[in-house]
Amino acid sequence: MTEIRLLLTAVQYFTRIRVPAWVGHAQEQLAGAVRYFPVVGLIVGASGAATLWLVAHVLPTPLPVILATVVTVLMTGAIHEDGLADTCDGLAGGATRERALEIMKDPRIGVFGAIALILMLLLKISALSVMPVWTAMAALIAAHAFSRFCAVLISFAGRYVGSAERSRAAPVVQRVKVGDVMIAALFGLPALVLCGREAIVAVVVALVLLGLVFRWCVQRIGGYTGDTLGAAQQITETGFYLALLAAPAGPL
């Protein structure tokens, strides 16, 4: 029952999906829920894939991918997209560590954030639109799960520097253990087989991008925040799609 509560807590905090009332709303319940972030990715990715498949029967490209993207954004309340925008505004616009963190707390979006968000959405939609429907469906499921596993890796390896009072994710990202990472891997990695051998290239590219994001955050603010975890998820997800397209087909 404890693990089910942790799973539903992760779903409750990082999607708009309703969960039973007995799960509760205490932030303290987030401790340990990080292990189920990839499960949230599987749910969101599968919902996007199902939408893509249904719409592809009645509407031409790129509309199925656009509507699938709309579904994934609505399911999460754009929490990761918001993190991407805030991260780009803060890290690109703040001259000092303190100023960068201050900007990231500001609910308003700036030029850097708006441009990053628009370009990221364009890259996602463009990449998925040129894939065959079944390939795009597999990519959605695998990328959403794996990109959230990447966020777990950052929360395990880095130091949380955000505001514990203002961030709803603070209780979970400050207590990540080896066991959490291992369980997250059990849910974040298996879906990669849906993408075939090309997934190997996609994983390598996503991990390189993850390393670059992590290094940028450490250099600029000394660690990570809830916003930068969202940015890492968005960047690795998009990089995964692009790498799938660039990967050589056939046996390696």
- In order along its 252 residues, the chain shows pLDDT tens digits of 778 888 998 999 899 999 888 887 766 667 778 899 999 999 999 999 999 999 999 999 999 999 999 999 999 999 999 999 999 999 998 888 999 999 999 889 999 999 999 999 999 999 999 999 999 999 999 999 999 999 999 999 988 997 765 555 555 566 788 999 999 999 999 999 999 999 999 999 999 999 999 999 999 999 999 999 999 999 999 999 999 999 877 544
The token duo for 248 is: 């050589």
CA distance 148 to 156: 13
With 0-12 / 13-18 / 19 or more C-beta atoms within 10 angstroms meaning exposed / middle / buried, residue 101 is: buried
CA distance 200 to 117: 27
CA distance 173 to 168: 10
What predicted TM-score, i.e. pTM, was given to this entire model?
0.93
